Structure 1
């Protein structure tokens, strides 16, 4: 889509628009909800472009705020549901779309709810989709729990493109063996693959945060993907795998033998082909899955 086509499609929000909407609605950004509103149209168009959103997509947005990214998503022709925790913002958003992009008003639904409480039952909009995508500027303090919760509850959440704090982005996309590889990295890898796809400066926000931001792109494994640790005859239970991950990284400096001594018998390490003198930060998600499978097999045989 060209810049000319984008401009013709609708008016996106600049700094003056954001401040006027906020003043009209009596809204001021709160630290409680981690609110920093994007005031640069180029940034939200970049996010939507990186996400690959098209007119045939159904999009979930978490934390739409005053509507900067919402309008950029709607500009593509996509339909979407925005999940907003703050009642005044949720109430205001349809009016903003009606003002700046009236032809898109019927493609937007707003849900006033904490994203951590969203389920296929209380937000059923996506239940008929084979796959849907999440595009969001996530509150820094709850970004990781929101992503892992939505992936757990919505099996057909096929991809996401999110803007998060740069350090959070680095951890989400980290690989085994790096200093920042940890619980978020390996749990996200249970569901699919993540990569950092760009950095965002502080000057595109109001108010400007005291940290830089980055974009993370995620693609869920296909059911028949050989990299998917949840497939196969001996596929382990996700909760059991996550318990091992939590224990291994809860005592990061300890060897697996020491950190998991009450959970994993020596025979399971041998069966999984994993040296118990290694540390958790060196294991891939496939190795954690193999270890969980070995523990299950050992317990059944006991």
Structure 2
């Protein structure tokens, strides 16, 4: 991949987007949360914020008509686009061949729901020590997609995504704020997230009725001893996430009340956590400490039936 060279191509404007959509008989659907970017400056900004270079391997989820795809390919990067909508997946290689033909061999398109993507059915990334996700995510499933991909792909080292502004705020929220919740804590298990900009509604077709924002995420290194996930297994993570779900499922209750069926009283003491606190005040590291205390007390880890409830 190091032999690739970046190129300045023709990126899609509003007229291009509407022509391609008309030719392919495609119209944006609410079902898939589709809003196509019609401004070249916006997609170039996304790629710049993501620090995509010639040597990168990029996953894009929801490429739509190819606006961001072309901006990624413009850097010289190699990429795989995951598209749920069959007509869009079929059309994308033709769009790249028309607007940036020299980049066609650096694009792979997978027609699949991003929530079903695994290293087995999208093996392109299996040989990578690290790859990056760059995407304009469908707002209704943005958080599950991010958490699912982070869980399944240990080599997903970073992402830069455009999401609904409120979602971006929640993903990057810190303990104690009103918007700090389950997505904030679970994302913090894997790495650090920050909001890096807002995007106006006028760069989309059709224009959404919400504002958008960019979230940048960097995964903790495997040897980072400060990472809450350091040395933890998938079973450990499942218990931590179970505690998070329970604490925020009743966020106005104290930890003692919200977690009474999972956490014995002595575990709070062992973890050094005041049971009269609320879940919204805990860092992910504190949730991890509480999970470790649960496992080390005389009480067993929650049964499979409890975890699945």
With the shorter chain as reference, the TM-score category is: over 0.9
Q: 1:55–1:77: 8 Å Cα contact kept in structure 2?
A: yes
**For residue 110 of structure 1, what is the aligned residue in structure 2?**
109
Q: Deviations over 1:260-291 (max 9, x none)?
A: 01110111000100000000000000000000
**For residue 101 of structure 1, what is the aligned residue in structure 2?**
100
Classify the secondary structure of the residue corresponding to 2:297: helix
- Identify if the C-alpha distance between structure 1 residues 234 and 205 changes in structure 2 by more than 3 Å, giving closer, same or farther: closer
Counterpart Cα distance in 2 of 1:31 and 1:170: 23
**For residue 140 of structure 1, what is the aligned residue in structure 2?**
139
What's the CA shift for 1:301?
A: 8.5
**For residue 276 of structure 1, what is the aligned residue in structure 2?**
275
**For residue 56 of structure 1, what is the aligned residue in structure 2?**
55
- Calculate the aligned-residue CA RMSD, in Å: 1.7
Q: Deviations over 1:111-169 (max 9, x none)?
A: 00000000000000000000000000000000000000000000010000000000000
**For residue 22 of structure 1, what is the aligned residue in structure 2?**
21
Moved over 2 A (4+): 232-236, 299-302
Q: 1:159–1:220: 8 Å Cα contact kept in structure 2?
A: yes
TM-score, normalised via structure 2 length:
0.94
**For residue 168 of structure 1, what is the aligned residue in structure 2?**
167
**For residue 75 of structure 1, what is the aligned residue in structure 2?**
74
Classify the secondary structure of the residue corresponding to 1:216: strand
What's the CA shift for 1:53?
A: 0.1
What's the CA shift for 1:299?
A: 3.5
- Are 2:218 and 1:226 aligned? no
What's the CA shift for 1:226?
A: 3.0
What's the CA shift for 1:223?
A: 1.4
Q: 2:264–2:299: 8 Å Cα contact kept in structure 1?
A: no
Counterpart Cα distance in 1 of 2:261 and 2:152: 29
**For residue 150 of structure 1, what is the aligned residue in structure 2?**
149
Counterpart Cα distance in 1 of 2:43 and 2:31: 23
Counterpart Cα distance in 2 of 1:149 and 1:253: 27
Q: 1:236–1:290: 8 Å Cα contact kept in structure 2?
A: no
**For residue 262 of structure 2, what is the aligned residue in structure 1?**
263
**Where does the alignment leave 5 or more consecutive residues of structure 1 unmatched?**
none
Counterpart Cα distance in 1 of 2:299 and 2:156: 33
**Where does the alignment leave 5 or more consecutive residues of structure 2 unmatched?**
302-309
Q: Deviations over 1:29-68 (max 9, x none)?
A: 0000000000000000000000000000000000000000
What's the CA shift for 1:245?
A: 0.2
What's the CA shift for 1:225?
A: 1.6
**For residue 205 of structure 2, what is the aligned residue in structure 1?**
206
Counterpart Cα distance in 2 of 1:167 and 1:11: 32
Q: 2:159–2:217: 8 Å Cα contact kept in structure 1?
A: yes
Deviates more, 1:17-26 or 1:234-243: 234-243
- Identify if the C-alpha distance between structure 1 residues 45 and 283 changes in structure 2 by more than 3 Å, giving closer, same or farther: same
**For residue 307 of structure 2, what is the aligned residue in structure 1?**
none
Counterpart Cα distance in 2 of 1:232 and 1:117: 27
* Alignment: residue pair count: 297
**For residue 9 of structure 1, what is the aligned residue in structure 2?**
8
Q: 2:62–2:136: 8 Å Cα contact kept in structure 1?
A: yes
Counterpart Cα distance in 1 of 2:252 and 2:230: 31
